[in-house]
């Protein structure tokens, strides 16, 4: 149903263009254009690096009995929610239709989740268990992380490194820094990943991912108002030392304010989606 709804949306737009009819104003959030820095790095190379690191991460997790099996209830839950969100990702990045999307769960107390370039998603058990996330809140987190991949924030940061450091190719160290992921799956490196980004740049990315992710969740029939309760839980989990998922992100209060300000743009999408779920 979700693929059909997303496909219908794209067909209607194409029909308007072919008929010469003016396009209606786009429903949903408004974000800026993609950064020109991303064009300095081949997308295929970024996604290949992501695939390699992701595979190695899963291998390391499996060797430590930390990789959730396919029949694990939380794994099935995450994959169900992803299946509902992904069809609406395609309008944000045409290449996403060719991505080999994967969703996995790793046993760790970290309050963390990510989506690497090419649609490689991981949740840690800590973010599900410690925050006791509802499905709506999981969809907000997942939508946020998918948005990073769709908007190619990692590729953009690599491009910035190429421009500022004069690098001709993507080195594995830069790739690991941009993804915030190390194939060794050590807690230390996982905690340090986000700190390798400049604070202002990272905050811009995070705000954009919040908005795009909120729209993805709404279109899939998940309540975008849950972003408020999500960040209330995140703030409560802070306890003076932010979880790694919050390390260089905007404060919880500013995120709640931004979400509330944009709710009128996505609530109609949610109400329509909820009516046909």
Q: Which two tokens stand for residue 37?
A: 């820095």
Give the three-state DSSP class for 122: strand
Structure token digits, residue 231: 């960040």
How confident is the model at residue 201, as a pLDDT? 38
- Side-chain half-sphere CA neighbours of 163 within 13 A: 13
- Torsion region of 99: left, alpha or beta (phi above 0 gives left; psi -120 to 50 gives alpha): beta
pLDDT at 215: 97
End-to-end CA distance of the chain: 8
Residue 277 confidence (pLDDT) = 74
Do 60 and 185 form a contact (C-beta atoms < 8 A)?
yes
For the chain, give every domain's residue range.
42-276
**Which is nearest to 139 in space by CA: 5, 71, 229, 15?**
229
Hey, what are 194's tokens?
Answer: 């986000």
Rounded to the nearest 5°, which phi and psi values hold at 175? -60, -45
Catalytic residue among 102, 145, 208, 215: 145
pLDDT at 27: 86
Spatial contact of 159 and 39, defined as CB atoms under 8 Å apart: yes
Write down the pLDDT at residue 152: 84
Q: Which residues contact 132 (CB under 8 A, 6 or more apart)?
A: 233
Residues 29 and 211 sit within 8 Å (Cβ to Cβ): yes
Whole-angstrom Cα distance, residue 210 to residue 119?
Answer: 17
pLDDT in tens, the chain (277 residues): 655 555 555 554 454 445 444 445 678 888 777 765 555 667 788 788 888 889 999 999 999 999 999 999 999 999 999 999 999 999 999 999 999 999 999 999 999 999 999 999 999 999 999 999 999 999 999 999 999 999 887 777 766 665 555 444 444 555 555 554 444 433 332 333 333 233 333 677 888 999 999 999 999 999 999 999 998 998 888 765 555 555 555 667 788 899 999 999 999 999 999 998 7
Give the whole-angstrom CA distance, residue 176 versus residue 43. 16
What pLDDT, on a 0 to 100 scale, did the predictor assign at position 216? Answer: 97
Identify which of 185, 182, 187 has the alpha carbon closest to the alpha carbon of residue 49: 182
- Beta-carbon contacts of 71 under 8 Å, excluding residues fewer than 6 positions away, are none
Hey, what long-range contacts does 247-252 have (CB within 8 A, 24 or more apart)?
247/191, 247/194, 247/195, 248/194, 248/195, 248/197, 248/199, 248/202, 248/203, 248/206, 249/194, 249/202, 249/203, 249/206, 250/203, 250/206, 250/207
pTM of the predicted protein model: 0.76
What pLDDT is stored for residue 42 in this prediction?
75
Q: How far apart are CA 122 and CA 36, in angstroms?
A: 28
Q: Say which residues have a Cβ less than 8 Å from residue 133's Cβ, sequence separation at least 6.
A: 127, 141, 230, 233
Q: Provide CB contacts within 8 A for 227, sequence distance 6+.
A: 140, 210, 214, 255, 256, 259
In the annotation, is 145 catalytic? yes
């Amino acid at each position: 149903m979700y693929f059909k709804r997303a496909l219908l949306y794209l067909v209607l737009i194409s029909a308007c263009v072919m008929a010469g009819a003016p396009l209606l104003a786009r429903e949903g959030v408004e974000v800026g254009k993609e950064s020109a820095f991303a064009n300095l790095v081949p997308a295929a190379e970024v996604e290949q690096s992501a695939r390699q690191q992701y595979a190695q991460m899963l291998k390391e997790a499996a060797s430590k009995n930390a990789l959730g099996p396919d029949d694990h209830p939380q794994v099935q839950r995450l994959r169900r929610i992803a299946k509902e969100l992904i069809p609406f990702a395609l309008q944000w990045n045409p290449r996403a239709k060719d991505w080999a999307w994967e969703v996995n769960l790793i046993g760790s107390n970290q309050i963390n989740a990510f989506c690497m370039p090419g649609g490689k998603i991981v949740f840690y058990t800590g973010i599900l268990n410690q925050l006791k996330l509802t499905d709506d809140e999981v969809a907000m987190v997942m939508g946020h992380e998918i948005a990073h991949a769709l908007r190619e924030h990692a590729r953009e940061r690599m491009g910035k490194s190429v421009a500022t450091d004069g690098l001709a190719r993507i080195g594995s160290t830069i790739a690991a820094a941009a993804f915030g992921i190390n194939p060794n799956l050590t807690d230390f490196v996982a905690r340090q990943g986000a700190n390798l980004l400049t604070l202002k740049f990272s905050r811009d990315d995070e705000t954009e991912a919040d908005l795009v992710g909120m729209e993805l969740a709404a279109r899939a029939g998940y309540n975008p108002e849950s972003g408020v309760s999500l960040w209330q839980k995140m703030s409560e989990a802070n306890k003076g030392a932010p979880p790694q998922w919050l390390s260089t992100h905007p404060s919880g209060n500013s995120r709640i304010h931004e979400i509330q300000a944009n709710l009128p743009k996505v609530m109609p999408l949610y109400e329509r989606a909820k009516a046909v779920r």
